[in-house]
Structure 1
């Protein structure tokens, strides 16, 4: 599917059908097309053309979707920016991506030299203007540049071309059995690849509609469900845990929902079973990563769902489990999860060596440890990286450790994830002072607040005489986690 022309196709097939809405506006298919055409001309007048990068630092709103399609019609690339990022983080992404334009919420100041800024409220919406012709971009044209942290601590730009998103959206449509009668409730952030691909492009490709919800609130979520009558939505385990913890007297009408997708972090089989028993619709757990354009496995919507697993490969993808030498292991044996398919990213922007490490013979090496059963269902058993997952957000300790050791009083820092009932994991930091120095945790807290997004900031700082090391002199996070758990159990 050529997504640049998807608004045209929808307007032709069903002009007055519902397309996309948020709390401020609701667009039919023909209105979506006209607004996309107006946004395209606006970007063009600002000098945006083929190969340019447009950064969107926006909350979830209709304009995000308009700018996606408008940029693609011009052969440009979208890089989503988390609105909660610090100015330091935003400037780094804008510089690395070489963004020509940043579209931000009204009233925000510019954060990087050399990047033009457009306030979203100024986006042209002249629906009566002369219509344009939908182009046919080359499938290898870069569509999305999704930034994800790496083990080096430096965020990397995951390059997803039109062939990637075309393949992933069609895979999602097939696996989730989405059709024109569906309505997706979008509650995940649009700066995540799931929000763009699974919650927006999949339903729009299938002829369905998208309702963009305000910021998730467990107290009002089911009010939105009862009012909007969606047929499915995607969320992370933390959201399902919050909903499962609502008072027993909360008994909403969920009859419109066919299923909920659960991903981005491991969920317990107990949570999935308990949630479905209470609310009457199934949760289908899946697994994927940005480098694979979002999803690689999913439990079947209509077929056998196996709680505790993350399901079967999406149509058109292959999953293998390999040992340290790259040899495939038999069913039931643990090893690294590797993925192959047309959804696998082009690579990391400007990082050919790192790309070559994770994509070997077209197989994407995820760094996750899992096993396949005899029927091909994947179970994740661990992470070979030190990644922390807080409420579905991926956090790499090295990025935080680099901020902490930048303090002149800190000799060394080790960041770990510790269990948390609400978020799954939260960040804590262990710091070792420089000789003759005293560490001030409140100063470290302020330092993190200046450089790190809120969810990356440690919830606690522990000042220790020495950070444990393994026999080869590397920080031993296994023993650090064990010691932390032991202390926590005693307290």
Structure 2
């Protein structure tokens, strides 16, 4: 039976716009003695959470933070990291988490681009970058954050967010230059996560989340912000480790988690996985990288609870959802556009193509970025303006097709499409053939320059012990492919190059293919 307080929170979260800090304040009154945040070193209860956030926000304002100004955060995920993120928003500022895997030059570029005058940094990054890194900023050691806070009982000045106020800046994972800062407004985040929190409350769920991807990644927000809006508990992991993840999920009775495909694969491969009790899991999310149908099937078979794949971008655009547990015959797709999302498929001249025809995906929804920070030129490049209506759509960067039931199948990244002898070759088609071969664990195909054809497809595979040699695999696969699709070469590698959230780095594979040579 729902309490009056829960009914009140359901009503608050049903509103078209609201304040994150105010919702957290309400939950602290309702759930004071229940857990709100935890990591391997400490637990924070709801009664403590808002007090710590208020003290930290008060100190930010005392030391010069202005409304709409960014607060840079750099380090491994922890309770203190989460507090810094929440305090930046409470103080009227903008949370600007920085990618730990970026180079020093990129980190400096991101910090300067954000306009931050504060930098929260953990001891490991501080030691790596040295005392002169961004020395002109107010540098706060994350491990000693409570010593820096305002005294107990302090409160930050009142802050009532406006819908267009920036909430956070998430930096893209660019491999060269300064990554672009993707600005999300308070309204965008409210629309995105209040509805999710509301669904948890309406379902009567105990909301206990295990967040094992970094807090600087937009992926992780799904396991962080809506959970707190629902009055739940978030456990943050500093570094993903299969054994620790399973121990936490069992001990915490985790009900919600977000994992990227490479994490699901590692869990499926982990010895003893089936010995852990994961029966409390209600919802598992996945996003950020291609999720094979075979892996989805294995996860559905071996992990309790529903499995929801989310397809979108940090920038926004269309949001597609695949409830894999409800559509076992659609696991090769990323689902259908969610309510409030729209999708079009365009040809190279930006004209709509017939259903079932591959083309460039463009999408729009109620959860799109405000733009790239300080980059109106790049913002314009990312958009497609419908000439008939003037509506703004986002270019998703993917080639895809829509089936008769409205489900979206991704063919590949637009930048990864190979044009060989005037024919379009979609790497995903070739990769699907490669993984059919016994002993092929993973496969990736890239285009490399060819004097004869313009570009030629080259494959890379990760092989299991006892697999056939690459020459045999290449011959078998090419025998099944059309003449214009055939692979020019196939290389075995020990491990696929991936980003911090498991995205395959095809740029690295192209560089490796160029080094290996052999394509005419």
Which TM-score tier does this pair reach, normalised by the shorter chain?
0.7 to 0.9
Question: Secondary structure of 1:207's match?
Answer: coil
- Write out aligned runs for 1:263-282 (5 A): 263-282=287-306
Quote the residue 1:122 is aligned against: 144
78, 96, 114: which one pairs with 1:61?
Answer: 78
297, 315, 334: which one pairs with 1:291?
Answer: 315
Residues 180 and 207 in structure 1, CA contact (< 8 A), matched pair in contact too? no
Question: After superposition, what is the alpha-carbon deviation per residue over 1:395-450, rounded to whole angstroms, capped at 9, x for unaligned?
Answer: xx9xxxxxxxxxxxxxxxxxx9945579xxxxxxxxxxxxxxxxxxxxxxxxxxxx
98, 105, 110: which one pairs with 1:88?
Answer: 105
Change (3 A) 1:171 1:368: farther
* Structure 2 segments unaligned to the other structure (5+ residues): 1-17, 386-390, 418-426, 429-445, 447-457, 465-503
CA distance in 2, matches of 1:43, 1:297: 38
Alignment RMSD, CA only?
A: 3.4
Change (3 A) 1:463 1:274: closer
Change (3 A) 1:464 1:236: closer
CA distance in 2, matches of 1:380, 1:464: 26
Quote the residue 2:122 is aligned against: 105
- Write out aligned runs for 1:126-137 (5 A): 128-132=152-156, 134-137=158-161
Question: Secondary structure of 1:385's match?
Answer: helix
CA shift at 1:340, angstroms?
Answer: 0.9
- Higher mean Cα deviation, 112-121 or 183-192? 112-121
Change (3 A) 1:314 1:204: farther
Quote the residue 2:375 is aligned against: 351
CA distance in 2, matches of 1:166, 1:71: 16
CA distance in 2, matches of 1:171, 1:421: 43
CA distance in 1, matches of 2:153, 2:44: 17
Question: After superposition, what is the alpha-carbon deviation per residue over 1:333-375, rounded to whole angstroms, capped at 9, x for unaligned?
Answer: 2222212122111111222122112223321111111122233
CA shift at 1:236, angstroms?
Answer: 0.9
Residues 178 and 206 in structure 1, CA contact (< 8 A), matched pair in contact too? no
Is 1:365 the counterpart of 2:382? The answer is: no
- Write out aligned runs for 1:438-477 (5 A): 458=508
Question: Secondary structure of 1:5's match?
Answer: helix
CA distance in 2, matches of 1:206, 1:10: 8
CA distance in 2, matches of 1:112, 1:28: 33
CA distance in 2, matches of 1:81, 1:249: 33
- Write out aligned runs for 1:401-416 (5 A): none
Quote the residue 2:414 is aligned against: 384
CA shift at 1:189, angstroms?
Answer: 0.7
Question: After superposition, what is the alpha-carbon deviation per residue over 1:364-400, rounded to whole angstroms, capped at 9, x for unaligned?
Answer: 11111112223322211111024999xxxxxxx9xxx
CA distance in 2, matches of 1:45, 1:9: 25
Structure with larger RCO (C-alpha < 8 A, sep 6+): 1
- Higher mean Cα deviation, 279-288 or 122-131? 122-131
CA distance in 2, matches of 1:420, 1:46: 52
Change (3 A) 1:369 1:291: same
CA distance in 1, matches of 2:267, 2:273: 12
Structure 1 length normalisation: TM-score? 0.75
CA distance in 2, matches of 1:303, 1:279: 15
Quote the residue 1:79 is aligned against: 96
Question: After superposition, what is the alpha-carbon deviation per residue over 1:27-50, rounded to whole angstroms, capped at 9, x for unaligned?
Answer: 222211101111111212221121
CA distance in 1, matches of 2:325, 2:304: 15
Quote the residue 1:438 is aligned against: none
Instruction: Kindly tell me the number of residue pairs found equivalent between the two proteins.
Output: 414
159, 162, 183: which one pairs with 2:208?
Answer: 183
Residues 368 and 384 in structure 1, CA contact (< 8 A), matched pair in contact too? yes
Structure 2 length normalisation: TM-score? 0.71
Change (3 A) 1:273 1:303: closer
Quote the residue 1:300 is aligned against: 323
* Structure 1 segments unaligned to the other structure (5+ residues): 390-396, 398-415, 423-454, 468-479, 485-491
Quote the residue 1:199 is aligned against: 223
Quote the residue 2:47 is aligned against: 30
CA shift at 1:247, angstroms?
Answer: 2.9
Question: After superposition, what is the alpha-carbon deviation per residue over 1:261-308, rounded to whole angstroms, capped at 9, x for unaligned?
Answer: 121111111111122223344432221211019x82221377435311
- Write out aligned runs for 1:402-441 (5 A): 418-420=460-462
- Higher mean Cα deviation, 177-186 or 336-345? 177-186
Question: Secondary structure of 1:158's match?
Answer: strand
Quote the residue 1:442 is aligned against: none
